[in-house]
Every structure is written in C-alpha cells, then in structure tokens.
Structure 1
Amino acid sequence: MGGNSSFTERLGVRTIINARARLSRLGGSIMAPGVWEAMQDAGRAYLDMGELHGRAGERIAELTRNEAAYVTSGSAAGLVLTTAACITGTDPAKMNRLPHIDGLKNEIIIHRFQRNHYDINIRQTGAQLVEIGNHRTTHPWELEEAFGERTAAVMYFPGRYLGANILSLEKVIEIAKGRNVPVIVDAAAQLPPAENFWAYSEMGADMVIFSGGKSLAGPQNTGLILGRKDLVAACRMMGSPNYAIGRPMKVGREDIAGLLAALEHYLNGGEQAQVAHCEKLTEFLLERISGIAGLSAHRRFPNELGQALPEVVAAIDEDAFGLTREEFIRRLWEGDPRVEVGPDGDRGFYLSPDPLQEKEAEILIERIKEALSAK
C-alpha cells in the first residue's frame, strides 16, 4: 500500500457513483462547504457537552423558528428520543424505567399505511403501536377511536409514506390537539423546501425530526429534533452524555459543530444551489437517456422520496435488450466504476441528480450504455 494512496484504496473499498439518493448505507451525503472545517475547529479543544448541546440547540431553534432544538445521532435516534419524551415527559423516575413501561402511557398511534422499517426505533422504547385505517383509506373516526388512557403520541410520516386516502397532517393535528396528545412528525428526508423546518411546527406538530446527513449535507451521523420546549428538554435529558435510553446515541462536539455549519449553509444559499444542481443535471440526463434506443424516459417531480426535487425515470425494453431490469442494475453495481440507481415499477429505474456529482454525469451515461450492451 503506497503512501499516496487514498483511504478507500488502502482498505480496498470501491467508491460509488450515486444516482439513487442520499442514503445512509451509501454514506449519507457529500458534506457541504464549511462543514469539515467546523468539525476540525470543534475537535481542537475539550468542551462541556451539556453546555454545547444547550447553546447549539438555542442557535438551531433560532435559525429554524422553533421553540427548541436538539442534535441527535441521526433521525432514527430522533424517533427513539421523541417517542420516549412523550412517554416520560421530564420525569427522571419514568425515564429510568424505559423500556419497561407498564403502567405508563405507552401507545403510539400510526396509520397502517405508514408502517415502515423504522418502526423498531419507536418500539425499542417499549412503546406499542396502535394502527388506524388500512392500506386503502383512513377515516377521522378511526383516529378518534384509537385514543385511550395509555395514548402517548401520534406518529406521522410525510413524503413517500403519504397516501392519497390517509388523514392529512392538518386533520391529525386537529384531532390530536382536541385530546391533548402530542404529534410527532418524522420529516427526515423532507428537505427541500427549507420552510419545512418551521412549517410543521407552525401547523401544530409538537416535535419534528430531520436528518442532518442527507439534504443538509452535514455529518452523516446527525439529526435534528425541533419543537416544543418541554418535550425537547425531555429528549435532551435522555440523550448522551446523560445516563438514560439515549446514552448510546452519542453526538460528538465535532458532529454538533458540523451540523450547525451545514444548517447555516443550507439556509444561506445551500437550498437554492441544491435545486439548481438538480434541475441542471435532470435536463442533461433526460436528454442523454432519451437518445438511447430501447429506453424511454421522463422527468418526475417530486422525486421518489417526496422531496421538491426533479429526477429522471426510465423504462427498459427488456425484449429489445434481452435484459431484465434486475440484471441491468446488477451490472451497474458490479462494473467499474460502481453505480447505484433506483428501481422503479416493474421494469423501470430512476436516476436522482441530487447525490450525483456533476463530474460523474457523463461517466454515468457511459456506464448505462455499457450495462445495456454487455453480453
């Protein structure tokens, strides 16, 4: 291993042209300008982590127009802490009981349509999920009937988990407020627009969760909890460095500094740069994909994650290529350079320009042509 080789080369780890999404399993995001510098600066000295969390939370709350804010170790950790906060409030004795919560309010209401693989992060607090509706529709009376003496909160997932016939967030908040039950919104991927930082709270949501390592382009292992001061205070009481259910969900001083820098960048032109980047590359990709015989392509907006960003969706003529969509995606992944695209429908795939670097766009097109023509 030569002294001038990169970190990934020394480990034998291949880099990826990411044309799918800013996903945790692909490393989150390429960090925004100023983030790495802020992390290095914070790492040069010892700090009181409680004080740092408090001051950073105040600054983030100010920037996002919320009562309070707390930096978490990712949005999945945010699900744990927000759920726990609704169960215990700021009572240390109740916090100490988690996840053994017999006798406490431990029921979280959720649309059956919105059940997903992050359920485990809600349930690891000891909470039980109470489903409403079905995969076709949900009625207001079903939410009304789901409330009981042990209801702790209502969980809501916007974006890709929205169905045409489920209750709107506005209706959920209206009904929950009538029962004095908090509403948690997992908006991890719902940027842009930046207005979502305050829109959900202004709508009446009690706590809102965002990822720090996706559109914000901060450290991958960060997230944000925004909302009501008392509930955010409970999240902070249960988070590291305190000894409670959130102790393993540690956020370092470098991470907090990096996330704050990423947020400031996003609110000061970063969002506009992200949208412009996506528009430019969508136009480029659509033109080049449409020129490949056997592929049909169109622009999709919003994207697969429900973000206000465009992307390109293409369908493969499997008979013309003698190639299935699955084999095509496998060839992209196993080729050089390695490429990740997203499956769409039965025969299609999509290309998201959001994680794609401009210098990679032409290489991506060539790799697609290679994968289609390989025998």
Structure 2
Amino acid sequence: MPFPSRWSRRSFLGALSTITGGLLAPDHLKAASMLSPKRKRPVDGDPIVPIESGLGSTGDIYAELGITPLVNINGTLTVIGGSVMRPEVMELIRQGNQHCVSIDELEIAAGKFIAKICRSPTGYTGLVTGGAAAALTVGYAGMMTEDLNPRLRTIPDVSGFPRTEVIIQKSHRYAFDHQIRQTGATLVEVETREEMIAAINPKTVAIHFTNILSDQGQVSGPETVAIAKAHNLYTFNDAAADVPPKERLWEYPGLGFDLVAFSGGKDIRGPQASGVLIGREELIRYALLNMSPQEDRVGRCCKVGKETIFGLLKALELFVNQDLDEDTRMYDARARVITDAVTKFGVTALPRQYNPQALGNVTPYYSWRIAPRLGLTGADVMQKLAETRPLAIGARSAGASGLRGRDPEGASEPKPAPKPHTKKYSDDDPESGPNDFGFPLWQLKEGEDKLIADRLAEIFSEARKG
C-alpha cells in the first residue's frame, strides 16, 4: 500500500493500523476463556478489548505520553526496548494471564520445556529469569549458597561462606560482572592459562566466561571447562547476545558449562525482561531458591511473572524452529525495497555482510553508498532518519549504556568503553567510507521497509534539489 511522503501522525497511524490491525481481530483470540465462553463482561485474562477512555483510548500511547517511538534499525538493544514480540508470543502472555498459578511449579515445568526444546544434556534443565543479567545474579548466588537456609538469608554478606571467589580473564571483564559482584563474590583476574590454574585455591567457587569476548581472551571456552572440571569448580558462560545462530543454545551447554545464560528479549524476541538460564539441575534449583517468588533472597528483585514465563517459552519455541535461510531471504527482500527507492538518486547497494560465526547479535547487515554529488555523508543520512517524526527511524544514541551519574569532583567522565553486548554485527565488516550508511533489518515489522524507503527517497530528493 502507498505511504505518504509527507507524514503526519494521523497518516502514519492509518497506515500502521492497516499493517497490524488484523492482529487484534476477534478470530485470533477465540481461544480466550476456558471457563465461560458465554460471559458478557470481560474479566482479567479475557481477550484484549478496545479501550474507550483514558490512557490508550487514542490508539497511540506514545503520543499520549509525549515520547517518540522508533523503527528499530539499531538492533536488540536494551536501551531502546530490545525487540518487538511476535503475535503468538503476545497471545501466550494473554493466556498466561487467565489464572494464577504456583510460580515455582511453573518455573520447574518451564525448565523441562526449555531443556527439551534446547536439546540440553542429560541432567540439565532451564530457568526463566528476569533477563540475562538476573541469571548471573541468581546463578552465582546459587553456587555459593547451595540450598542452605542460613546462607540464603545472609547473602550478599558471604563472610563464613567456604567458596566465594570467581576467576575471570582480565579481557572478559565487562559491565555485567557487576551482577556477579553484587552477590558478594570476589572476582580474581587472570590472563593466561597458567595464571588461571595458579589462581585456584580453596575459596574458588567458579570460573566465569564472557562469550562475546571469547576472541579476546587467551583461554578458550573448552579449556576453561577442562580446567574447572579438573579442580571441581563450576563454570558460567554468559552468552546473552550470542544467539543466533540457534545452535548455540545446545552447543554451549554441550561443551560442559555448568550454567549458560541467554537473553530472552533479543533475537529470541521474548519479553524484554526475560532471560534463559540452562544448567545442571542442582544448580538451577539453587538459583530458583535465590530468586522471586522466594522472599528474603538476594534475587527477590529478579521477579518473573507468569505472563513473562509463558511468553518466553513461545518465543523460544518459534526461535528454535525458525528457518534461517527463509529469514535471510525476507531480509534481502526488505533491502531490495529500499534499494529500489534510492537507486535513481545515485545511491547504490553494497554487498550484504554476514558472518554467522560472529559474536554478538549476529545478523545480515545491509549498506548503501551515496554519490558524492548529493553532498550528504552517511552520518547525515542516519541523523535525518533518527530525526524523522512522528516515528523516528533508528536512534543515534542507541549505542549508549544508559543514563550516567556525575563525577563528584566535577571532572569530565572518560568515554565509556564499547559495550560488549552491542558489538558489531559481523566480524568481516569492512571499514565503511564517509559516504556509506547501513543497518540491520532483522527487527523491522511488516511494512516498515517501505516507511524507510519512502523517507530515504524524501531525504535524497531534498538533497538533489539543494
């Protein structure tokens, strides 16, 4: 369908409702209530109903709150809300809201589902956590407390605990080791294999492995596992951003890591505040003892609702069963829509970049080169896309790590190091020139490729006139 080149909020919402309106049609929601299909008044857990007054009654909650939503060409970044959930995931969230249930019982059942669909080794199970960062906290807490009530109540005061040290390669230090330290554990930095072995002592509980930084350390994942096993230590692999490819869901536990964490809100496209922890049954039980719904626990704040659990399970099922070749063909088709709209302005498509073995948010990446005569740089184009209204296309600040505090001494803060979980999309990315711009297309919804194409045509048309 045609999209207006000069957008208004009304024209955008009209186009968007045509694209997505069918998702809320009653036929999609007939699996609603198991108890009383003849009920006239909707109750909690029933199908979604129109909102006739108050917040949401206009159909544009972003405008009601005065904020600008984004077309996601940045990737699955927490600072912009991760990814957009599929309709099937939203339906499972709705179904999960129909009744109350024992969260512990649901978590144990969900763990078995995860282990089966992720082909986990014998003796492994899963746990739905409040994000991959929460998986770090409850996983390491479980290693140190086991199932002992006095420890469960006193952590992060770990004085008197027998084992509280975690070995980590210096090159694997990252923003998320804060979630290990908040359990009271002490990180011990090493660089070489020999240093790793020498650092092991009676206080050592585990060796941590940061998967997205595995190409920067001197000790590989398999070597880490072998050293830990030889010394009766646990291992934890934080692979939050390292699916796709989906095979890593079973390859990393298959290497022998005792616990492996994945984000549920990235390309798995589950609820943003969800994570998947796969590991040995005993350790998963210890982790569950350290998190909500249990009270007086270090992970009580890592709450996971029944709706999140059901949504994550459906998202994971869809992710494991997806056809990567089919998805890539869809991305290519979206890129062609954009290419067809900009070619006439002297903008040419560059070869698709894709390395399926790269680390961190692996996805095909598409880029274009602007003819110098247009007088626009790639940065100019990306800035103009981000300034688009009423719906911004991308966000120029989306690579940031979030809000930052101030230096009490008044000194300017050093520039933050690159965030490991937002590493470049492909290890074979060439250096882009000043006239190149590009982005991944994996998070676009149906029709958003046309929105981008129309906006780029508008940008290049104005540049040519100028």
Query: TM-score, normalised to structure 1's length?
Result: 0.86
What is residue 136 of structure 1 aligned with on the other side?
A: none
CA distance in 2, matches of 1:246, 1:198: 26
220-229 vs 365-374, which moves further: 365-374
Distance 1:202-1:323 versus aligned 2 partners, 3 A rule: closer
Distance 1:208-1:317 versus aligned 2 partners, 3 A rule: farther
Three-state SS of the structure 2 residue aligned to 1:224 is strand
What is residue 214 of structure 2 aligned with on the other side?
A: 162
Structure 1 residue 352 corresponds to structure 2 residue 404: no
Q: How far does the alpha carbon of each residue in 1:246-275 deviate from its partner, in whole angstroms, 9 at most, with x for none?
A: 111111111111111112222233656544
Three-state SS of the structure 1 residue aligned to 2:322 is helix
Structure 1 residue 174 corresponds to structure 2 residue 262: no
Distance 1:364-1:322 versus aligned 2 partners, 3 A rule: closer
Kept after mapping to 1: 8 A contact 2:171/2:216: no
CA distance in 1, matches of 2:80, 2:170: 29
Structure 1 residue 58 corresponds to structure 2 residue 112: yes
Q: How does 1:184-263 map to 2 (within 5 A)?
A: 184-243=236-295, 244-263=297-316
Residue number among 235, 240, 251 corresponding to 1:183 in the alignment: 235
Kept after mapping to 1: 8 A contact 2:291/2:302: yes
Distance 1:23-1:339 versus aligned 2 partners, 3 A rule: same
Task: Report the alpha carbon displacement of residue 314 of structure 1 after superposing the two structures with TM.
Answer: 5.7
Task: Report the alpha carbon displacement of residue 289 of structure 1 after superposing the two structures with TM.
Answer: 7.2
106-115 vs 285-294, which moves further: 285-294
Distance 1:119-1:349 versus aligned 2 partners, 3 A rule: farther
Amino-acid identity (%):
29
Kept after mapping to 2: 8 A contact 1:56/1:256: yes
Distance 1:329-1:150 versus aligned 2 partners, 3 A rule: farther
2:289 partner letter:
M
What is residue 112 of structure 1 aligned with on the other side?
A: 170
Distance 1:294-1:172 versus aligned 2 partners, 3 A rule: same
1:321 partner letter:
G
What is residue 95 of structure 2 aligned with on the other side?
A: 41
334-343 vs 258-267, which moves further: 334-343
Kept after mapping to 2: 8 A contact 1:286/1:299: no
Kept after mapping to 2: 8 A contact 1:285/1:312: no
What is residue 140 of structure 1 aligned with on the other side?
A: 193
Kept after mapping to 2: 8 A contact 1:296/1:316: no
Residue number among 114, 128, 132 corresponding to 1:75 in the alignment: 132
Q: How does 1:124-139 map to 2 (within 5 A)?
A: 124-133=182-191, 139=192
Q: How far does the alpha carbon of each residue in 1:332-357 deviate from its partner, in whole angstroms, 9 at most, with x for none?
A: 32222312167877856540111123
CA distance in 2, matches of 1:270, 1:177: 36
Task: Report the alpha carbon displacement of residue 77 of structure 1 after superposing the two structures with TM.
Answer: 0.5
Residue number among 327, 330, 333 corresponding to 2:386 in the alignment: 333
Residue number among 88, 92, 97 corresponding to 2:149 in the alignment: 92
Residue number among 350, 354, 371 corresponding to 1:301 in the alignment: 354
CA distance in 2, matches of 1:334, 1:286: 21
Kept after mapping to 2: 8 A contact 1:22/1:354: no
What is residue 85 of structure 2 aligned with on the other side?
A: 31
Give unmatched runs, 5+ long, in structure 2: 1-53, 400-423, 425-430
Give unmatched runs, 5+ long, in structure 1: 134-138
Kept after mapping to 2: 8 A contact 1:192/1:271: no
Kept after mapping to 1: 8 A contact 2:339/2:349: no
Distance 1:189-1:249 versus aligned 2 partners, 3 A rule: same
Three-state SS of the structure 1 residue aligned to 2:321 is helix
CA distance in 2, matches of 1:351, 1:126: 40
Query: TM-score, normalised to structure 2's length?
Result: 0.70
Distance 1:320-1:177 versus aligned 2 partners, 3 A rule: farther
Kept after mapping to 1: 8 A contact 2:267/2:361: no
Kept after mapping to 2: 8 A contact 1:107/1:128: yes
Q: Say what the alpha-carbon RMSD is for the aligned residues.
A: 3.1
Kept after mapping to 2: 8 A contact 1:210/1:224: yes
Task: Report the alpha carbon displacement of residue 102 of structure 1 after superposing the two structures with TM.
Answer: 2.3
Three-state SS of the structure 2 residue aligned to 1:34 is helix
268-277 vs 80-89, which moves further: 268-277
Task: Report the alpha carbon displacement of residue 69 of structure 1 after superposing the two structures with TM.
Answer: 0.8
Task: Report the alpha carbon displacement of residue 305 of structure 1 after superposing the two structures with TM.
Answer: 5.2
Q: How far does the alpha carbon of each residue in 1:146-194 deviate from its partner, in whole angstroms, 9 at most, with x for none?
A: 22222221121223x2325532211111112111111111111222222
Residue number among 101, 105, 129 corresponding to 2:158 in the alignment: 101
Q: How far does the alpha carbon of each residue in 1:309-367 deviate from its partner, in whole angstroms, 9 at most, with x for none?
A: 31125677999836583x55443322223121678778565401111234122332444
Kept after mapping to 1: 8 A contact 2:144/2:164: yes
CA distance in 2, matches of 1:176, 1:115: 19
Distance 1:112-1:286 versus aligned 2 partners, 3 A rule: farther
CA distance in 2, matches of 1:208, 1:268: 20
Distance 1:369-1:128 versus aligned 2 partners, 3 A rule: farther
Kept after mapping to 1: 8 A contact 2:85/2:270: yes
